[in-house]
Structure 1
Amino acid sequence: MKDEPAVLSEGLRLFFPAAAIHGALWPVVWVVLYAFDLPFSGNVPTSQWHAHEMIFGTYGMALAGFLTSAVPEWTDTPRLRGKPLLILLGLWMPGRLAGLIGADWMIAPAGLADAAFLAFLTVSIALPMIRRRNRNHASFAFWALAMLGLEIAIRLGWLLGDFELSARLLHGALVIFVVLMALSVTRINIVVINHALDPSGDTRPYRPHPGRRNLAGALAALYALVMMALPDSQAPAFLALAAAAAFFDRQAEWFIGTALFRAEVLALAGANFFSGLGLAMLGVAGLGAPFAPATGLHLLSMGALGLAVLAVFTIAGLRHTGHELILPARSGLAFALMLCAALVRTLPEMGLGSWLIGPHYALASLLWAGAFLAWLSGFLPMLLAPNRQG
């Protein structure tokens, strides 16, 4: 459409900035302005509002941007554009308002909106795969459907006052996002590493090890399932350690010489490393080590998913706006700030820099916000402008 603004021509152009703005502002408001005391908080623990917003708010919108742009490429079908994108954005927003103020009376209506958002997203990516009989990427539709089920179950847990159940479900939802990250990195890494090794594109020297493609994600998914079903067993702890080992084994994919030191390659490698570290921390905590599970969860949410989301924002943002895979300086700054945010949030709780305990919450939230704002300042002009390739 000639009069259609560029921002409505593809999902990532609208959804990546929305996710970045949400990710930058909400934690700062909670930690710095509210001091963890949400203005309308009731029975639902504020920590669960926070976790839900990061998972279903920031990462949910990032997932929508990635899938609504990637699935049309994978299936060679028309992409969502215009009004359907605005509908998805509109369905996503009520939940974000509820999470910002912690309003228990908004649990049901906001939950319906979030469920509709995830249902719309699942259908929009599943239909092209069905039409094209494309099974290679069907796992994304399956896990999007799983996120829909978890969203409904979490809201029901809140309404029923079963906050122990909702905490486990939020934990499981975060790990499912790690699974989605592993699936995404498997696909993106082929392009990124081959470009790093041969920017001309004449050769494709990198091929991933077939055994590593899905093992880490599969073990992480099994850990999430058993953790939610058998919370009093030690089986989840051993499965977390097994999944961590699989992620650490995948680290060998990044043994590519000096090309490793390109920012986009390091970001993907770092996301994979933090996945292993976070799962390992959850495993040893479950076996009695003196670490809080929240530390492992923040290694996953800030280190693994934070770096992975910024890497996807950067790589897909460049490729889908007609730019070469040459990262602007602000991308490197965003990655560095995200890494610092993850370390500041978790290291003091691991006995390193314990003098920061207390102030580390606010400092980590500001570094986290700075990472998203650095990316946004560099990429928003690209996303608002027409594609350079027409």
Structure 2
Amino acid sequence: MKNTSDATRDLPRGMSRTGPVLFSYGFRPFFLASALWAIASLNLWMAYLSFGVPVASDYGTLYWHAHEMLFGFAPAVLAGFLLTAIPNWTGRLPIAGRPLAVLFAIWCAGRITMLLSGSTGIVPAAAIDSLFLPVMLLVCTREVVAGKKWKDLKVIAGLFVLSLANVLFHIEVIDGAGPELAIRFAIGAYVLLVTIVGGRILPSFTRNWINQFGRTDFPVPYNSFDAAIIIIGAVAFVLWAYAPHSTATWGTAGVAAVLNMIRLVRWRGWTTWPEPILFVLHATFLFVPLGFAAISVQAAGWLAEVAVLHVLAIGTISMMMLAVMTRAIRGHTGRKLKSSRMTNVSYVLLGCVALVRPLAELIPALSTEILAAAAIGWTAAFGLFALEHTPLLWSGRKPLTMRGG
């Protein structure tokens, strides 16, 4: 029989058996809140479009909508992922309990003050909202440096860019200018994170899955070819941010589209079709080359930027976030890595939204109907996610398996 101290040492990292379950691991509060805010903020935006309901009017409802997608919903998912993944990378204990609750409260304060910016004032709201990403940056940098995982600093660099982009967004709005530059920088940062982390997890997950069947047709692991493609993608995004209609942007984004397609093929994603929770990661990464292709077409003057933004924001960023959330929740609550029928439906719905929403700019006569259909699909996708996963996030502790005899 083990004594209490021995049993405590055998607890898996982050699986404290006391205190609120919600704050026992980073993915729990942030994944749950991100889904709920994805639904609430989008429907507030649609209420404004459809019925003229005033929403953050002093800030500008259009700008508020763009901000809350890029700097409200998305950072919550990113925080949940990083606060869960970094302990695995570094071997250090995860942020949990009161520190996690404080970090979550900072995120919530940003959402509330931005929504009520007409009462709080735009500048105070922007100042409070701008706290979360830098704090996340400091926390994650501390963990990576303490764990001496220097190669993971490139992921931290993405947080740094997002922090600057958020501040730039507020400055541009307060100065009366459009925040298009900040939006392009933010989307570029998120997509680069997808190309970095995706290049790490997709070949690994796929190899592990293929290996179960005794096969040897493994995907090509991350190598210098992948690193070169990420650098080319970064150059393309910088060019797009500063000169979205230049010849250099057209050419570089076109090259990035082709190379990322080659990269995706090297991962042999089609072999994972029988396993939707894995296949969806490959299907989502397809929006990376599609997004670069859209940037190239925009630079040539054949596509509106709003359409490009939604290809990347919904197809590449939001779909990857949904796919990663469903997988992480199952893995970290002791469930089998198998997607349910409800989860598979949410994947399909969000994929349809990613394909349909850009059509609002291509078919102006049907823009109202297209926006409504996209909003319904988005709400349904994240609604199904919340319906299925809230019980796991709120109260589902991972079953405790003790080591030793």
TM score, norm. by length of structure 2: 0.87
Q: In structure 1, the residue corresponding to 2:258 is in which secondary structure?
A: helix
What is the distance in 2 between the residues matched to 1:219 and 1:101? 40
Task: Identify the range of structure 1 (182-191 vs 77-86) with the bigger mean alpha-carbon deviation.
Answer: 182-191
Q: 70, 88, 95: which is aligned to 2:85? A: 70
Q: 1:330 offset after TM fit, Å?
A: 1.7
Q: What TM-score, normalized by structure 1, do the two folds share?
A: 0.90
Match of 2:383? 373
CA contact under 8 A between 2:117 and 2:125: conserved in structure 1?
no
* Amino acid across the alignment from 2:183: L
Residue identity in the other structure for 1:251? L
Aligned residue number for residue 128 of structure 1 = 143
Flag the structure with larger Rg: 2
Change (3 A) 1:28 1:125: same
* Equivalent residue runs for 1:348-363 within 5 Å: 349-350=361-362, 356-363=366-373
What is the distance in 2 between the residues matched to 1:204 and 1:83?
Answer: 46
What is the SS of the residue equivalent to 1:219?
A: helix
Following superposition, the deviation at residue 85 of structure 1 comes to 1.5
For residues 203 and 339 of structure 1, do their structure 2 counterparts lie closer, same or farther at Cα, with a shift above 3 Å needed? same
- 1 CA distance for matches of 2:280 and 2:225? 19
> Helix, strand or coil for the counterpart of 2:188?
helix
The correspondence for 1:385, drawn from 396, 399, 402, is: 396
Report the AA paired with residue 30 of structure 1: W
The residue type equivalent to 2:356 in the other structure is V
Percent sequence identity is: 26
Instruction: State the Cα distance separating 1:78 from its structure 2 match.
Output: 0.8
What is the distance in 1 between the residues matched to 2:138 and 2:309?
30
1:258-273 pair list within 5 angstroms: 258-273=271-286
Query: Which residue in the other structure is 2:301 paired with?
Result: 288
Query: How has the CA–CA distance of structure 1 residues 103 and 212 changed in structure 2, closer, same or farther, with 3 Å as cutoff?
Result: farther
Within 5 Å, which residues of 2 pair with 1:1-390?
A: 2-32=17-47, 34-35=49-50, 37=52, 39=54, 41-42=56-57, 44-100=59-115, 103=118, 106-163=121-178, 166-199=179-212, 205-230=218-243, 233-256=246-269, 258-289=271-302, 291-347=303-359, 349-350=361-362, 356-383=366-393, 384-389=395-400
CA shift for structure 1 position 104: 8.8
Tell me if structure 2 keeps the 8 A contact 1:17–1:376.
Answer: yes
Amino acid in structure 2 at the alignment position of 1:11: G
SS at match of 2:286: helix
Which residue identity is paired with 1:67? L
Pair 1:232–1:258, CA change in 2 (3 A)? closer
What's the C-alpha RMSD, in Å, of the aligned pairs?
2.6
- Partners of 1:214 and 1:20 in 2: CA distance: 32
> For this pair of structures, how many residues does the alignment match?
385
Task: Tell me by how many angstroms 1:350 deviates.
Answer: 4.0
Letter aligned with residue 94 of structure 1: A
